[in-house]
Amino acid sequence: MDFLISPLRKPLTGEIVFLGDKSVSVRLVLLSLILKGKITLGNLPFSEDVKSSLKAVNDMGVKLLKENDCFVLENTEPLRERGELPLTIYCGNSATLARLFLGLSANLPGIYELSGDDSLSNRPMMRVVEPLRKAGLNISFLKKEGCLPLRIESKGQTEFIEWENKASSAQVDSSLLFASLSSEKPFKVSSPHTFRDHTERLFAFLFARENLRHSEKLSFLTKTNHELYFYIPGDISSAAYFILLALLKPGSDILIKDVLLNDSRTAFIRKLQEAGGAITLHIKGESFEKYGDVRVTASSLKAFTVEPEEAASMIDELPLLAAAMAFANGTSEVSGAWELRVKESDRIACLISQLKKLGVSCEEKPDGFKIFGGFSQASNIVLDSFGDHRLAMTFSVLASLLPNPLMIMNADCVNISCPDFFEKLKFYGGKNVE
């Protein structure tokens, strides 16, 4: 569906709240496959990726229940032997679901076939498959080497491995953390750069108080009758678009309430602060994740640089930071962002092609881009999101801040991560036609 986005009619003011963080939510939903008992989730978002994850665990036998405003996942038999017929798990657009399920399947004896939509079926899976094969999991590709669909044959046990996570991918790291539960000792995984640490934090929350040896952890999950409650903080990656809108729309002053403030997810905020953005964080608490409020007031931005060692920690927000660079005073640059080439789209090529339509002086690099601040926008411009939710939201932010309305093609893909994005934008007058 195409949306016409008009300039914001008023500054962003007041308080904004967001549904739960997608990355955290998918991990908690998948945890139900190996945790005996009940997991109650508050503020669970019903984005498409989370819906795909819920359907996957339900197909595996996890019961899904609603209790008041919470969602309950109940698994009384988390480890079950399966017969010779494979169970098909459809992952939709969610690479997190596909890659983490690969690791989780190491603990679940049986045969599984993973598939996804056209976009996911072209995203790289070998980065996860290769170490899991080395650990003893039997994985075969059914059509195209390195991509979905694929078949997994699991015996419920793996061998210890040492592995370098060259892509600095949180999904690779999380997949191997889950898989290592089926090994006698934890896998040794290294990486050149830092990345999201949600699974490490989840494991620390589950196991720290029990003082368990590694070989006892899976038994602890599958033998104990657990009852756990998680309130999922608001999605910081979805909030990022409104943070930038508030920074760049004169007169804006907003408070984003109860949002995820995990240090591995706020690098983009630190970068915007470095560029002159008036953003303050108020930490309110920390259980399995740090959360709190974000205050944002309108600011002028100066040019900034994202170095290779920083790129992995803000990979999802880099397209949005490109929009910030277009409004910043001076020349900005991103390097080391190879991973953008293998997201839902080639985010480097697609982003730069559309920025040029807006008259932004910019250059595509193999591992990033260079942007020279300023616009020479004409009217009646149509931007293509390429079915990529991060690009659709980035272009909507640009359209909301420029003087002329812009048409965004295939903008309904925002439902993958933030289904109420346009509802929030419309409140400030930024969307007027579907």
Mean pLDDT confidence for 134-150: 98
pLDDT, tens only, 157-167: 999 999 999 98
d(CA 218, CA 220): 5
Tell me phi and psi for residue 175, to 5 degrees: -60, -45
pLDDT, tens only, 184-213: 999 999 999 888 999 999 999 999 888 899
Residue 316 designated active-site: yes
Three-state SS at 173: helix
pLDDT at 314: 96
More confident site: 430 or 409? 409
pLDDT at 84: 64
pLDDT at 40: 98
Residue 393: alpha-carbon gap to chain centroid: 14
Mean pLDDT confidence for 79-97: 83
Listed in sequence order, the residues at least 6 apart from 290 whose beta carbon sits closer than 8 Å to its beta carbon are 260, 261, 262, 263, 283
Mean pLDDT confidence for 229-249: 97
pLDDT at 377: 66
With a cut of 70, say whether residue 334 has pLDDT above it.
yes
Q: How, if at all, do strands 253-260 and 63-67 pair?
A: unpaired
Mean pLDDT confidence for 416-422: 95
Mean pLDDT confidence for 305-325: 97
Confidence of residue 85 (pLDDT cuts 50, 70, 90): confident
Which is the catalytic residue, given 316, 346, 367, 412?
316
Listed in sequence order, the residues at least 6 apart from 261 whose beta carbon sits closer than 8 Å to its beta carbon are 233, 236, 281, 283, 290, 291, 292, 294
Q: pLDDT averaged over the chain?
A: 94
CA distances from 333 to 12, 74, 244, 276, 393 (A): 28, 47, 18, 16, 21
With a cut of 70, say whether residue 42 has pLDDT above it.
yes
Confidence of residue 433 (pLDDT cuts 50, 70, 90): very low
d(CA 161, CA 157): 13
Give residue limits of the domains in the chain: 3-20+234-433, 22-231
Strands (E), 121-225: 138-141, 150-154, 162-164, 188-190
Confidence of residue 140 (pLDDT cuts 50, 70, 90): very high
Q: Which CATH number fits domain 3-20+234-433: 3.40.640.10, 3.90.1150.10, 1.20.120.400, 3.65.10.10?
A: 3.65.10.10
Confidence of residue 434 (pLDDT cuts 50, 70, 90): very low
Mean pLDDT confidence for 280-306: 96
Angle (CA) 93 98 104, round 5°: 155
pLDDT, tens only, 354-366: 999 999 999 999 9
* Topology of domain 22-231, CATH: UDP-n-acetylglucosamine1-carboxyvinyl-transferase; Chain (3.65.10)
